[in-house]
Amino acid sequence: MTLGIGVDALDFVKSIPEKILRKIDTIPWDPPYWDPNGKDRGARLNRHKKLDKHDNRFFMDPKIKEKIRTYIEERTNAVWIVFSSDPLKGYDYEHIWFKGDSFGSMSAGRQTRNDEYVYIKTNGKKLNILPGLPRVLHFPVGFGVHMPRRCYKPAGLYNRLYKHINSEFILDPFAGYGMSIKAAYDLGLTIYACDIDETVEWDFKPQYLEVW
């Protein structure tokens, strides 16, 4: 495993040898929001306070996101797991990540304001038919662990997705609090991951992990 804390995503991805990139079979894709006015629309928080509204370190220009995505797509044939608050087109499967503690607040599997879409683009890869993946993925935020960001995604969610995709080699350029890394470690998978926020602490990482 290769991890990077406080590292620019594009620099990190470019540092990975192309022979390794060609092995990547899974891309969790959840980049930071972009708001040129510095308004809080889900921008990353550190462990103590919200970033100053004039500090756009964790807002990302869509052009930069596209540059990173294009670089990866040109060098891999991976399955993409894309998280989005808005409906998207051009994906093979659409699921909903339900963040609540019970199904009482959700009606007929439809997305509510606080839930997210989870899209999967297979690029022709055959997914696990059994046990399959339900349209609604019920993994409450904060279940069993305290996190200061409401948007963090539980390791169990990634665990279920990795099993469904038959993942072996994962690349996560926007790892946040590292739940995608924890899921990969728990499943014995190989992951290359980074996050630009130098304040995150991946306390669960074993000693032998190579930190970029």
Looking at residue 55, its pLDDT comes to 43
Summary mean pLDDT of the chain: 77
pLDDT given for residue 117 in this prediction: 92
Q: Which domain holds residue 32?
A: 2-211
> For position 130, what pLDDT does the model report?
66
Query: Are 196 and 202 spatial neighbours (Cβ–Cβ below 8 Å)?
Result: no
Residue 150 predicted with pLDDT over 50: no
Residue 127's domain is classified under what CATH number?
3.40.50.150
Which is nearest to 164 in space by CA: 190, 119, 126, 136? Answer: 126
Provide the domain count of the chain: 1
Spatial CA neighbour of 175 closest among 1, 30, 61: 30
Q: Is the pLDDT at 8 greater than 90, yes or no? A: no
Assign residue 188 a region (left: φ > 0; alpha: ψ between -120 and 50; beta: otherwise). Answer: left
Q: What pLDDT does 71 receive?
A: 97
At 50-63, the pLDDT tens digits run 344 434 445 677 88
The two beta strands, 79-84 and 116-121, are antiparallel
pLDDT tier for residue 7 given thresholds of 50, 70 and 90: confident
Is-contact 184 162, C-beta < 8 A? yes
Tens of pLDDT along 64-107?
A: 899 999 999 999 999 999 999 888 999 999 999 887 654 444 44
Band (pLDDT 50/70/90 cuts) for residue 210 is very low
